[in-house]
Amino acid sequence: MKKAIAGAVAVIIIALGVWVYIKFCFVYSTGTNEGDINYFQREGFIFKTYEGKMIQTGYNSKNSNATIQSNEFKFSVAEERIAQQIDMNSARQIKLHWKRYLGTLPWRGNSQYVVDSIISVQQAAPQQDVFPDIPQ
């Protein structure tokens, strides 16, 4: 009887360990996103993490008028060095590489998408004057 209980407890502990690993440590997917940084900030009460939002422009295929829409990509940054590089290049077109986890950890950030590197930085396109007839 004691062996059966000890075996059941061992199986439960191993299953719980596997679940924790898959939920919080297993990299579910990786990828890249490119766009303009909308905001980038350091936040948190106990664990200070870097959180940001990127705006990606594209075409809206759901609308018959083919309007241009923007897609938002919310992400977290765990490394201080990468956060500083993103902050310094926030006015430029930036391409980020990320890892997606199934769960979040307080010291890793509020998003499942954690940026681990910067692939490229391009100079932002010059802004066109919306009202060209108005003197500035």
What is the CATH superfamily name and number for domain 2-122?
Nucleic acid-binding proteins (2.40.50.140)
pLDDT at residue 132, rounded to an integer: 58
- pTM across the whole model: 0.73
Average confidence (pLDDT) over 101-127 = 85
Tell me what the mean pLDDT of segment 22-35 comes to. 90
pLDDT of residue 84: 92
* Residue 55, token pair as written in the block: 């705006």
Residue whose C-alpha is closest to residue 38's, from 78, 102, 91, 79: 91
- Average pLDDT, rounded, for the chain: 84
Q: Determine how many CB atoms are found less than 10 A away from the CB of residue 103.
A: 13
- For 47-106, the pLDDT digits (tens) are 999 999 998 876 555 555 555 666 888 999 988 999 999 988 888 889 999 999 998 888
Quickly list DSSP for 29-89: EEEEEEEEEEEEEEE-SSS-EEEEEEEEEEE-SSSTT--EEEEEEEEEE--HHHHHHHHHT
